[in-house]
Structure 1
Amino acid sequence: MQNPFSKIQFYFIFLSFIGLQAQNISIEQWIENMVQPQEDDIVLVDGVELFSQVELPRFYSNRDFEPAWQDLKNRNDLIESLESSIDEGLMPKDYHLDKIKALMKTSESGELSKKEMADMDLLMTDALILYASHLLDGKLDQSKIRKEWDVERNEGPSNPDSLLTATLHNRNIKSVLEEFKPKHYMYKLMKFHLKKLRNESERGGWPKVSKGETLKPGDTASRIPEIRKYLIAVGDLIDVESENSEIFDDEMEEAVKKFQWRHRLTSDGIIGKGTIEQMQVPIEKRIESIILNLERTRWIMQELDKDFLIVNIAGFHVKRITNKEEVFDSRVIVGKYHKETPVFKGVMKYIVMNPTWTLPYSIATHETLPRLKKDPGYLMAKHMEVMDRNGKILDHSTIDWSQYSAGNFPFIIRQKAGPWNALGEVKFMFPNKYAVYLHDTPSRGLFNQQDRAFSHGCIRTEDKWGLLMSLMDDPEVWNMEKISEILKSGETTTITLPKPINIYLIYLTAAVDQDNNLMFMKDVYKRDKDIAKEMKKTLN
Structure 2
Amino acid sequence: MKAIATFVVLVFFNLVLQAQNSDKTTRIATLLQDKTNLSKLYYPKSVLRFYTKDNMGYTWFEGSNSDQPEIAVLLLGYADQFGLSSSGYHCQELSPEKLMAIIDSKFNDSDERAWLDILMTDALITFINNLHFGKYNPKYTSSDIDAGYINGFCSDDKLSFALSQNDFLRTILEVQPQIHAYKQLQDHLNTLYANDLVNTSQSQIEKIVINMERLRWINTISENYILVNIPSYSLELHTNKIQRDFKVIVGKPSTPSPILESVVTHFTTAPDWKVPQSIFRKEMLPKILKNSKYLTDHHYSIYDRNGNEVTINPARLKEISRNTSSYSVRQSSGCDNALGAVVFRFENTYGIYLHDTSQKQLFNKEERALSHGCVRVEQADKLAKLLLENDRSEDQLPILENAMANYKRKDFVLKQPIPIIITYLTYSIKNGRPVFYKDIYHLDSGLIEKVIANK
Match of 1:68 among 39, 59, 62: 59
Q: What is the SS of the residue equivalent to 2:432? A: coil
Q: Is the 8 A contact 1:365 1:406 kept in 2?
A: no
Of 376, 390, 400, which aligns to 1:460? 376
Give the direction of change, closer, same or farther, for the CA distance of 1:418–1:531 in structure 2 (3 Å limit). Answer: same
Whether 1:295 and 2:213 are equivalent positions in the alignment is yes
Q: Name 1:383's counterpart in structure 2.
A: 299
- Paired AA for residue 65 in structure 1: M
For 1:340 and 1:384, how far apart are their aligned partners in 2? 25
User: What is the identity, as a one-letter code, of the residue corresponding to 2:78?
Assistant: S
Aligned to 2:85: 91
- In structure 2, relative to structure 1, the CA distance for the partners of 1:345 and 1:162 (3 Å cut) is closer
Separation of aligned partners in 2, 1:28 and 1:144? 33
Pick from 107, 115, 123 the counterpart of residue 119 of structure 2. Answer: 123
Residue in structure 2 matched with residue 33 of structure 1 by the alignment: 30
1:473-498 CA-partner distances (Å, limit 9, x unpaired):
2667625xx66643564443333345
Partner secondary structure for residue 174 of structure 1: helix
Any idea what SS the aligned residue of 2:326 has? Answer: coil
Instruction: Name the counterpart of 1:494.
Output: 411
1:450 is matched with which residue: 355, 360, 366? 366
* Equivalent residue, structure 2, for 1:188: 183
* Structure 2 Cα separation of the partners of residues 420 and 366 of structure 1: 21
Q: TM-score, normalised by structure 2?
A: 0.82
Structure 2: distance between partners of 1:530 and 1:144: 18
Residue equivalent to 1:426: 342
Give the Cα–Cα distance (whole angstroms) in 2 for the partners of residues 493 and 377 of structure 1: 30
| Residue of structure 1 in register with 2:258 after alignment | 342
Residue 166 to residue 374, structure 1, CA distance change in 2 (3 Å): closer
- CA 1:63–1:200 in 2, change beyond 3 Å: closer, same or farther? closer
1:372 aligns with 2:288: yes
The residue number in structure 1 matching 2:44 is 53
Q: State whether residues 342 and 404 of structure 2, in contact with CA within 8 Å, keep that contact through their aligned partners in structure 1.
A: no
What secondary structure sits across from 1:333 in the alignment? strand
In 2, distance between residues paired with 1:342 and 1:193?
A: 28
Distance 1:456 1:172 in 2: 49
Question: What CA distance in whole angstroms lies between the structure 1 residues aligned with 2:415 and 2:165?
Answer: 45
Map 1:380-419; keep pairs closer than 5 Å. Answer: 380-397=296-313, 399-405=315-321, 408-419=324-335
Amino acid at match of 1:68: T
Q: 1:421 to 1:166 in 2, by over 3 A?
A: closer
SS at match of 1:409: helix
d(CA) in 1 for partners of 2:337, 2:315: 23
Map of 1:222 onto structure 2? none
Shift of 1:354: 2.0
Fraction of identical pairs, as percent: 28
- CA distance in 2 between counterparts of 1:109 and 1:396 reads 88
1:165 offset after TM fit, Å? 4.2
- Aligned to 1:364, what secondary structure does the other structure show? helix
Distance 1:499 1:288 in 2: 38
Per the alignment, residue 113 of structure 1 pairs with 109
Q: Which residue of the other structure, out of 455, 478, 503, is the alignment partner of 2:397?
A: 478
Distance in 1, matches of 2:79 and 2:160, equals: 22
Given the superposition, is the C-alpha separation of residues 407 and 51 from structure 1 closer, same or farther in structure 2, using an over 3 Å criterion?
Answer: farther
Is the partner of 1:424 in helix, strand or coil?
Answer: coil
Q: What amino acid maps onto 1:378 in structure 2? A: Y
5+ residue gaps, structure 1: 1-6, 8-24, 146-152, 207-282
State the alpha-carbon separation in 1 of the partners of residues 101 and 195 from structure 2: 36
Letter of the 1:346 counterpart: S
Q: Is the 8 A contact 2:44 2:122 kept in 1?
A: no
Larger displacement relative to structure 2 (379-388 or 466-475) = 466-475
- Which deviations, in whole Å up to 9, do the C-alpha atoms of 1:340-382 show, x marking residues without a partner? 2112222222222222111111111111122222222221222
Residues 170/464 of structure 1: CA separation in 2 closer, same or farther (3 Å cut): closer
Q: Which moved further from structure 2: 63-72 or 121-130?
A: 63-72
Deviation at 1:463, TM superposition (A): 0.7
Deviations 1:506-540 (A, max 9, x none): 22222224x4232222222222112222223338x
> Per the alignment, in what secondary structure is the counterpart of residue 183 of structure 2?
helix
Q: How far off is 1:172 after superposition?
A: 4.4
Question: For residues 516 and 438 of structure 1, what CA distance do their matches in structure 2 show?
Answer: 29
1:103 aligns with 2:98: yes
Give the TM-score taking structure 1 as reference length: 0.70
- Pick closer, same or farther for the CA change 1:318–1:62 going to 2, 3 Å: closer
Equivalent AA in structure 1 for residue 248 of structure 2:
V
Alignment check: 8 A CA contact 1:308 1:501 kept: yes
Q: Distance in 1 between matches of 2:177 and 2:230?
A: 20
After TM superposition, the structure 1 stretch with the greater mean CA deviation from structure 2, 402-411 or 515-524, is: 402-411
Displacement of 1:402 in angstroms is 3.5
Secondary structure at the counterpart of residue 263 of structure 2: strand
Match of 1:523, SS state, is coil
Aligned mate of 2:129, from 133, 147, 152: 133
Number of aligned pairs? Answer: 420
Q: Which amino acid aligns with 1:337?
A: P
Change (3 A) 1:483 1:399: farther
Task: Give the letter for the 2:427 counterpart.
Answer: A
Which structure has the larger Rg over C-alpha atoms?
A: 1
